[in-house]
Amino acid sequence: MTKNWWKILATVLVLFSIIAGFLFHVPEKPILNETIRNIHFHVPMWFSMIVTLTVSFVYSIRYLRSSSENDDLMAIESANVGIIFGVLGLITGAVWAKFTWGEAWSNDPKQNSAAIALLVYLAYLVLRNALEEEQKRGRISAVYNIFAFPIMVVLLFILPRMTDSLHPGNGGNPGFNTKDMAPELRPVFYPAVLGWILISVWITTLRYRIRKLENQINEEN
Amino acid sequence: MDLLSQIKFLIRKEIMLEWRSKYAFNGILLYVVSTVFVCYLAFREISSPPTWNALFWIIMLFASVNAITKSFIQESRGRQLYYYTITSPQAIIISKIIYNILLMLLLSVIALGFYTLVFKNPLGDPAFYLLSVLLGSISFASVFTMISGIASKASNGGALMAILSFPVIIPLLVVLIKLSKNAMDGLDRSVSYDEIGVLLAINVIVVTTSLLLFPYLWRD
């Protein structure tokens, strides 16, 4: 149990954020209205994606240094989970945009950047499939992963800030920093972010362990 | 030999090989010219400046992918092994990047000349537009050189090259299109300093990561 406390914490936090996110009082804003509750679901997806993709980046560096198969497995599995969370972030964002901006896809720089960042990681998966030999696959895909990561950072954090954007936090719009966010939202928002990040890490470790077991079975046969 | 003389030697070798066969450059030149001509026959004339600008960058994008894909694929395994024994990996990647930058600079100037000849469009600030095109060709070269190195390791390198490089080049392309649009509209040059800064910063990041990562890619 001592090792599992964070999994329990993750479950409690996410359950709390779902219940509190739908039931607690939220500030009434024009245009946003009740859709403001989506902030507890949409934003944590992106936080989780950034965290898992960073984990993938770190394990790719570790793989280049160690050439151990486990590091490669961790890099690919965290990238997989990061892609899933990115897709979820795009979907929750599109639903939100449909209500507030009028269109699910409104050519917003942040939306476009996020979609391109996902393309970069889908290309990483394609590259992995194109390489047969395990050692070579691990090394070359690690190189691409490390090469792509700074580009993704530029895409998500620098480019949207340079142009006008409907998205909060860009183009002079308020974001979710300490000053802009309504105080009533914070007690739910911060636990939601932490909970989803922990959940994403949990899924990654589960997938990693499944892959490791599969490899062991394959070796025995 | 120290790094600098190795690089100089390798660039000389690349240029000499190209000069002897003139295959890559002529092929790419023909590719650009015929693409522009196909676009001319399809469009006849382009009245809106944003379309003119976008079409130019799309042509440049495909031309540069085609030009740079070759940089690692064309060399045989045996020859690569030979370089590996006599030079450092850093010298190889730097010389390839510099050679590709030179190739792309030449190509982009010719492409821009032919493009403006076929599709007439008033440029507000021609010198600044040329600067954005030159910056663009440097960026294309630095990004695509590393990606072509990665793609050359897989069996179907050509198809993989496009898949790997397009998402990576899009952020640069977005900045480039904005910069060149500013130049087209003849806006004050100080408006575009941000874009130039970002482009240079991305190029520095790309070249640095290439230098750090190429030794791992090389080891085979």
Indicate which of A144, A149, A155, A156 best probes the interface with B, i.e. most B CBs within 10 Å of its own CB. A144
CA distance B181 to B132: 9
pTM above 0.90, yes or no: no
Closest Cβ–Cβ partner in A116, A139, A148 for B216? A139
What are A159-201's pLDDT values in tens digits? 777 766 667 755 445 555 555 667 777 888 888 889 999 999 9
Pair A36, A26: CB distance under 8 Å:
yes
Å between A153 CA and nearest CA of chain B = 10
Tell whether B204 is within 8 A of chain A (Cβ). no
Q: Identify which of A131, A151, A163 has the shortest CB distance to residue B168.
A: A151
- CA-nearest residue of chain A to B195? A162
- How many CB atoms are located within 10 Å of the residue B40 CB? 16
Find all residues with CB under 8 Å of B30, minimum gap 6, and list them. Answer: none
Per-residue pLDDT of chain B (220 residues; tens, 9 = 90+): 688 888 888 899 888 888 888 877 888 889 999 999 999 999 888 888 888 999 999 999 999 998 888 777 777 778 877 887 888 888 889 999 999 999 999 999 999 999 998 888 778 888 899 999 999 999 999 999 999 988 888 877 678 888 888 888 988 898 899 899 888 888 888 888 888 998 999 899 999 999 999 888 877 6
Are B167 and A158 within 8 A, CB to CB? no
Separation of alpha carbons B100 and A160, rounded Å: 30
Taking residue B169's Cβ as centre, other Cβ atoms within 10 Å add up to 21
Helices in B44-156 by DSSP H: which ranges? Answer: 49-73, 77-86, 89-118, 126-152
Inter-chain CB proximity A162 and B156 less than 8 Å: no
- Closest Cα of chain A to B36: distance in Å? 27
How far is the alpha carbon of A42 from chain B, nearest alpha carbon, in Å?
24
Nearest-CB residue to B160 (from A130, A142, A146): A130
Chain A / chain B CB contacts < 8 angstroms: 81
CA distance A206 to chain B (A): 29
Closest CB to A127 among B146, B160, B178:
B160
Instruction: Provide ipTM, 2 decimals.
Output: 0.85
